[in-house]
Amino acid sequence: MRVAVVDIGTNSTRLLVADVERGAVRELDRRSQVTRLGDGVDASGRLGEEPIARVHATLAAYVEAMDAAGVPADARLGVLTSAVRDAANGAAFTETVRERFGIDARVLTGDEEARLTFRGATHDRDPSAPTPLLVFDIGGGSTELVLGPDADGAPTFHVSTQAGVVRQTERHISHDPPQPQELQALAAELRGILEGAVPAAVRASAASAIGVAGTPTSLAAIVQELEPYDPAKVHGARLELSQCELLLARLAQMDLAERRRVRGLHPDRAATIVPGIVILIEVLRVFGLDRFEVSEHDLLHGAVLERASR
């Protein structure tokens, strides 16, 4: 079955067109554009006109790609996450996506987002790998934390936290480069959010971790100095906590212009990569882990598999 899923997130808008057969996903087209839909939502409570226009322009291009790939009209799904959940005009934005672009758009709850992310990250993973497994997804407005699997392959614990690269940048970072006290305040807030959201026994139980989405994949690309970006080399890469700490020290000393020139880092992610690394480091520390695996398979793959199963 040929399926297309668009993930309209707080920081980026992504597309996956894939054929799904017997639970296997074969990617035909995958795209990502930093659209920063969540700009200002944390303060104003509303999606702004300029961010909405950026998303609409990206969706127009994605619809052309779906048409070219021959995706049936009833197999085009849109999943909308933190920024739209939090915005007063989120429902109106969602309706526009449906009507204007012909995409079956729906706003995911935090629980749904966590479940689909876990499914996407683990559907093709070695079942003998150490468990409980933590899957973490650092988004623009929220971070999903999911542990599992149970006997049926489903999560045993999941939570969506109000911590993301756009939200925390707006709350804490006002200098370029960021000042040490700003990063310290960000880390302290994150630690409190994570410890409050995940019981100590759950945190102590994690045996291994998978990181998905822009921050982990960007770090894997930076470590390997990938230009151009190569998903095959990013997927399955393993990073140590100590490597992440060194990358944070390196990138936090640079201003935005310098970070845009870092080999392996997409220039559009330069504005939020430092808060993203802080979030990633705090996740590992709170769960008592010193390494993680990077996955290219995330919410998009989980949504594709669920759509095909219907």
Distance (Å, rounded) from C-alpha 162 to C-alpha 141?
Answer: 6
DSSP codes, 184-220 = HHHHHHHHHHHHHHS-HHHHHH--EEEEESHHHHHHH
Query: What residues contact residue 247 under an 8 Å CB cut-off, 6+ apart?
Result: 219, 222, 223, 277
Asked: is 2-107 a CATH 3.30.420.40 domain? The reply is yes
Residue 212 backbone phi and psi in degrees, to 5: -120, 170
Contact of 220 with 245, CB cutoff 8 Å: no
Distance (Å, rounded) from C-alpha 154 to C-alpha 79?
Answer: 20
Contact of 21 with 30, CB cutoff 8 Å: no
Q: What is the pLDDT of residue 134?
A: 96
Strand partners, 25: 20
Q: What is the pLDDT of residue 81?
A: 84
Domain coordinates of the chain in residue numbers?
2-107, 126-295
Q: For residue 240, give the nearest of 259, 218, 223 by alpha carbon.
A: 223
Q: For residue 36, give the nearest of 100, 98, 82 by alpha carbon.
A: 82
Q: What is the pLDDT of residue 264?
A: 95
Same fold, 2-107 and 126-295: yes
Q: What is the pLDDT of residue 145?
A: 94
Q: For residue 228, give the nearest of 263, 270, 256 by alpha carbon.
A: 263
Q: What is the pLDDT of residues 44-68, one digit of tens each?
A: 899 999 999 999 999 999 999 999 9
Q: Checking DSSP bridges between strand 208-212 and strand 238-240, what pairing results, if any?
A: unpaired
Multiple choice CATH, 126-295, 3.30.420.150, 3.40.190.100, 3.40.50.300, 3.10.20.600: 3.30.420.150
Kindly tell me if the per-residue pLDDT of 247 is higher than 80: yes
